[in-house]
Amino acid sequence: MRTVRRTKIVATIGPASREPSTLLAMVRAGMDVARLNYSHGTLAEHAETVRRVRSAAGEAGRPVAILQDLPGPKLRIGPLRDDLVELKPGDRVTFSCGVEEIGDNQRMSISWVGLASALHEGSIVYLADGSVRLRVKAADPARCEVDAEVEVGGSVASRQGLNVPGPVDELPAVPEEDLALLAHGESIGVDMVALSFVRSPQDIEFVRRHTRLPLIAKMEKPQAVEHAHEILKAADCVMVARGDLGIELPIERVPIEQKRLLELAGRLARPAITATQMLDSMVRSSRPTRAEVADVANAILDGTDAVMLSQETAIGAYPVEAIAMMAAVAEQAEAIAPYERWNAERVLRTDADPAYTLAHTLCLAARELSLDALVVPTLSGRSARLVSAHRPTVPIYALSPGHETVRRCGLMWGVRAASMRRHETTEALIADAARRVVELGWCRPGQRVGITAGLPSGRPGTTSLVQIQVL
């Protein structure tokens, strides 16, 4: 029997992947979550992308979640003439703050008027994901201009980010523009939201007051790393966004922080995404480098729930092949990942919550009774998430009457999800769950499975029993 991949794949949709035929091929190749980067594209384009992803998922017969990635308080340069300029060491660049105008290799605009006040002579700023470094020669708040000299050159494209290492307290944690974009995402039916440049759990709690969508904390700032435990407890999921993190922190610390964050996410039962430049050479090449393959494999061996493609699928020449390669690497890494040890050793926080204990008990039963699968009826997806965090060595099958919940399971390690009817009694719920996994072809009659359920039935967050059943 073919091995079923358990690590999930997040793929960014962009100009290279928006066509319906490409999206269908990406879903068939293994895309579990489609990411919409709201730092680029128009609202109309994102709405159409959602429609196309839903259509492709329906045609392929696979649920696909849609992740809205908000820009956050990131500084971005304005449009550039011909969309690209080349900066050379020694070039002088003036940043005009608080305006938007067509720029070139001598003058660029930046939307935030406060940049000139936040910088001083000698400050370092980065462009193009850290590949271009400039040193500030003069900052004039009165003229709203910053003059800088290029120390490390390279290509810079329109709308790319400008990074100022260290805290910039004047920047709002959650810009008003993000709340407007959040409302748009909800209106077109996104399934989850990623918050950029989170600095504290209060950032998560603020956005939580404006939406009921699951929130993903992107770990990109030193302050986020410092307060990781509190941030992860406040969030529903975490993304280790290594691009900006590698600019904000000494780059040699990034692999260590990645391992620490993935371990913490596992112990707090928060799904984790590892992101940025995982197969970056596949933007141009049909094959990744050996180092990139090792990077993906090591993230899986560290315990990530999902791995993410950014430019590879958004603007790359081989979006479908990048997903297929990611899936192939994941299957190989999973064959040697220490899931059995994690399943036996991992102890999640409980907070006196019986759902954590029930998830642990279900996974313990799977190991000690040699069960064939774990069946998890769920309204919100929470029970499936807790079971997934224990990394059981048998399949996890989530069943839900909520289509959004079915799609959101696409971010949970090892969880395969489908729809089922809502039931008024726990007995009917268990009986229908057993019937449904056989009907779907996931299990065979005569196999022995563990099933979770709640009392009373039909209320989220009431997981309270485990039943062992022969199908």
Query: What are the residue numbers of the active site?
Result: 35, 76, 218, 276
For 403, the enclosing helix (H) or strand (E) is helix 403-408
* Residue whose token pair is 């509190």: 230
Instruction: Give the separation between CA 190 and CA 146, rounded to whole angstroms.
Output: 38
Instruction: Give the separation between CA 301 and CA 186, rounded to whole angstroms.
Output: 34
Angle, CA 329 vertex, CA 323 and CA 330 arms, to 5°: 85
Asked whether 103 and 79 are in contact (CB, 8 A), the reply is yes
Query: 168: closest CA among 75, 254, 78, 39?
Result: 75
Q: Is 128 helix (H, G, I), strand (E, B) or coil?
A: coil
**Could you tell me the CA-to-CA distances from 300 to 37, 129, 227, 312, 338 in Å, in that order?**
24, 24, 24, 19, 10
In 10 A of CB 186, how many CB atoms? 15
Nearby residues of 251 by Cβ (< 8 Å), 6 or more positions away? none
Query: 308: closest CA among 276, 272, 285?
Result: 276
In 10 A of CB 3, how many CB atoms? 10
Asked whether 258 and 242 are in contact (CB, 8 A), the reply is yes
Instruction: Give the separation between CA 356 and CA 345, rounded to whole angstroms.
Output: 14
Instruction: Give the separation between CA 314 and CA 239, rounded to whole angstroms.
Output: 18
User: Which amino acid would we find at residue 277?
Assistant: Q
Instruction: Give the separation between CA 7 and CA 32, rounded to whole angstroms.
Output: 10
Instruction: Give the separation between CA 140 and CA 150, rounded to whole angstroms.
Output: 18
Query: 77: closest CA among 51, 89, 65, 95?
Result: 95
Q: What is the number of alpha carbons within 13 Å of residue 29 lying toward its C-beta?
A: 24
Query: 422: closest CA among 460, 388, 379, 470?
Result: 379
* Residue whose token pair is 């390690």: 413
Query: 164: closest CA among 119, 212, 210?
Result: 119
Exposure class string for 316-329: b at 16+ Cβ within 10 A, else e: bebbbbbbbbbbeb
Asked whether 378 and 299 are in contact (CB, 8 A), the reply is no
